[in-house]
Amino acid sequence: MPTCSAFPRLTATMAALCCAVTASVTTGRGGVVARSPLQDLVSQRTVPGAAELSQDAHGVVRFGTAGVADVRTGRGIRLTDRFRAGSVTKTVIATVTLQLAAERRLNVDDPVIGHLPPATANALAGARYGRYVTVRQLLTHTSGLFSYTDDRGFHRDFFGRGFAAHRFVSHSPDTLVRTALAHPPYAPPGTRYRYSNTDYLLLGMVIRQVTGRSYAAEARRRVIAPLRLSGTSFPGTRATLPSPHGRAYSASGPGTAHDVTELNPSAAGAAGEMVSTLPDLNRFFQALLGGALLPPSQLRAMLDTRATGGCYGMGVFPVRLPCRRTVWGHNGEINGSYVQTLATADGRHLVSYRVNSDSRLPQKTEARLLRQEFCD
């Protein structure tokens, strides 16, 4: 999907799941709706259920579902279902950070140690290259800092064999940063792009240090409330999903479905704890790219990928389509959930789609879906 190397994920790869198959498609203004590639994934028993919501530049809205939200009851996926949005959280965190820059409460070229709590600042300053990392480099994943999710112990406990025993454990940002700093950096700051969840964990701490409020509180005040994103929340350490919601599934082997709906999302924190809905994600990206959340200079900076060789901006990445169009957005992957939102640069034409498993969609499936949505 993205034009650069695959992004490290807040998930493990999953095998096939058994499920019933249903399908429905509705449109806001009528017209022929092509069969979604997501329906094929359900038919092939790759995922239990899938949903897709799009709006084109003329205001035509399409919503389609396939499969089930709950393999036990057979309930279908609903448009208002809440789900874990994973790393789409990063787009919201980047938006809040750039709003603070627009208000001159920080400069993106400031060393980040000047905007962190003293203990974290000292720990980072004592790490190799740490004192030279800037806010901009965190936003663009060019800090070189090791991603705490790549730590073997963390990966085992949150994604692997230790998940059952550790799924409800609370993690503090300080602890997760220490996990990251126990490893050497990937590269000196600013020298190359390497996706790291540690970057956005630190940005969440920057927001608190600059504003005196948590990143969740600032996101609610600056993004969620103004846009009336009624299905979006930051659960903190709450393990359950708000209603209505379906179930989230992972698998350790063919045909073996594991319900992973309940988990403590503090392991993801500012890098991926957000819960949302497809309508909310569309509304957020439409407002963001349409200029309703950032001044023009900050929005241009968000879409500037020169520091990463075209891979990533600030909380968003570009996807270049075969019809010579480029769309912008982010994906999110966490135990039992995969979602992606992509939109044209003006935010007028966009699509959000999700599956209730932590399986990254086959590249051909996503390519066909996006070609069908934006090119055909």
DSSP 69-121: S-TTT-PPP-TT-BEE-GGGHHHHHHHHHHHHHHTTS--TTSBGGGGS-HHHH
Q: Is the C-alpha dihedral spanning 134, 135, 140, 145 positive or negative?
A: positive
Phi, psi of 101, deg, nearest 5:
-65, -40
Residues found in the chain:
376
The string of DSSP codes covering 319-335 is EE-TTS-EEEEEEEEET
> How far apart, in whole angstroms, are the C-alpha atoms of residue 313 and residue 339?
19
- Report angle CA 220, 63, 350 to the nearest 5 degrees: 60
Which residues are bridge partners to 258 per DSSP?
A: 250
Residue 159 has what pLDDT?
Answer: 87
Residue 25 has what pLDDT?
Answer: 41
For residues 281 and 43, the answer to whether their CB atoms sit within 8 Å is no
| Residue stretches of the chain with pLDDT short of 70 | 1-35, 251-256
Catalytic residue, from 54, 87, 233, 276: name it: 87
Inter-axis angle of helices 118-125 and 173-181, to 10 degrees? 10
Fold of domain 23-251+258-374: Beta-lactamase (3.40.710)
Q: Is the C-alpha dihedral spanning 95, 101, 103, 105 positive or negative?
A: positive
Inter-axis angle of helices 118-125 and 197-211, to 10 degrees? 140
Cβ neighbour number for residue 118 with a 10 Å cutoff: 9
Least Cα distance to 22 among 62, 59, 69 occurs for 69
Any idea where the domains of the chain sit in the sequence?
A: 23-251+258-374
Least Cα distance to 215 among 278, 266, 289, 144 occurs for 266
Q: Name the burial class of residue 185, with classes exposed (0-12), middle (13-18) and buried (19+) by CB atoms within 10 angstroms of its CB.
A: buried
Residue 171 has what pLDDT?
Answer: 97
Residue 359 has what pLDDT?
Answer: 77
Q: Is 368 helix (H, G, I), strand (E, B) or coil?
A: helix
pLDDT tens digit sequence for 317-364: 999 999 999 999 999 999 999 999 999 999 999 999 999 998 778 889
Residue 251 has what pLDDT?
Answer: 65
Structure tokens at 332: 């999110």
Residue 376 has what pLDDT?
Answer: 83
87 is catalytic: yes
Count Cβ neighbours within 10 Å for each residue of 278-317 and write b for 16 or more, e otherwise.
bbbbbbbbbbbbeeebbeeebbebbeebebbebbbbbbbb
For residues 275 and 232, the answer to whether their CB atoms sit within 8 Å is yes
Residue 252 has what pLDDT?
Answer: 53
